[in-house]
């Protein structure tokens, strides 16, 4: 058994094969089927008004993407790109576009307005905007110094 992954034919084995009989938790999102989308690229920036997430999802329609916010302030972006139908007469020369499911989760800070989250998709880029609560400035009261 090789502890270096073999990418040039033959059985693909790795150092993880050493632990195949141990009861470690499995991560289905890291399986071979889904590995292409595990690395879905998502940017997260914070502006004075909101947290803005941008995900590159080329070739997906908005109906194939799901945006959810859980009660414990977790933003989840998930979806699936379906495999292209094959005709038995087709001859593939190269297959580089990935298919399968993806899911990314982000814990949001406490100062967000979860009920006002908006999402839009344009030209294969998903934008999720999570508004922030306005920080109320504390009232300052001058205290006269006696003396």
Tell me: the pLDDT tens digits for 46-103?
999 999 999 999 888 999 999 999 988 999 999 988 777 777 788 888 877 777 889 9
Query: Is the pLDDT at 33 greater than 50, yes or no?
Result: no
- Per DSSP, the residues of 52-67 read EEEEE-TT--GGGEEE
Identify the pLDDT of residue 107: 95
The pLDDT value recorded for residue 43 is 96
**pLDDT value at residue 68:** 95
Contact between 69 and 114 (Cβ < 8 Å): yes
CA angle centred on 74, ends 69 and 80, rounded to 5°: 65
* Long-range contacts, stretch 40-49, CB < 8 angstroms, 24+ apart: 40/77, 40/102, 40/104, 42/77, 42/104, 42/106, 44/106, 46/132, 48/132, 49/131, 49/132
Q: Whose structure tokens read 């504390």?
A: 138
How much is the pLDDT for 23? Answer: 53
Average confidence (pLDDT) over 102-125: 94
Q: Which residue has the higher pLDDT, 78 or 29?
A: 78
- In the chain the domains, ranked by start, together with CATH numbers, are 41-83+97-133 (2.60.40.790)
Instruction: Using a cut of 0.75, tell me whether the model's pTM lies above it.
Output: no
Angle, CA of 86, 63 and 49, to the nearest 5°: 140
Q: What is the mean pLDDT of residues 112-124?
A: 94
Q: Residue 62 in contact with residue 117, Cβ under 8 Å? A: no
- Indicate if the pLDDT at residue 124 is higher than 50: yes
User: CA-to-CA distance for 85 and 57, rounded, in angstroms?
Assistant: 20
> Which pLDDT score, from 0 to 100, does residue 17 have?
52
Strands 65-70 and 74-81 turn out to be antiparallel
């Amino acid at each position: 058994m090789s502890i270096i992954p073999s990418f040039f034919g033959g059985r693909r084995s790795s150092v993880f094969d050493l632990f195949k009989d141990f009861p470690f938790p499995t991560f289905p999102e890291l399986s071979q089927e889904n590995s292409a989308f595990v690395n879905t690229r998502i940017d997260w920036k914070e502006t004075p008004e909101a947290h803005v997430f941008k995900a590159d999802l080329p070739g997906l329609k908005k109906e194939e993407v799901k945006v959810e916010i859980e009660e414990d302030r977790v933003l989840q972006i998930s979806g699936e790109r379906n495999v292209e139908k094959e005709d038995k007469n087709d001859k593939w020369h190269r297959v580089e576009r990935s298919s399968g499911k993806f899911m990314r989760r982000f814990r949001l800070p406490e100062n967000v307005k979860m009920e006002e989250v908006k999402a839009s998709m344009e030209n294969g880029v998903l934008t999720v905007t999570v508004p922030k609560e306005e920080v109320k400035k504390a009232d300052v009261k001058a205290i006269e110094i006696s003396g």
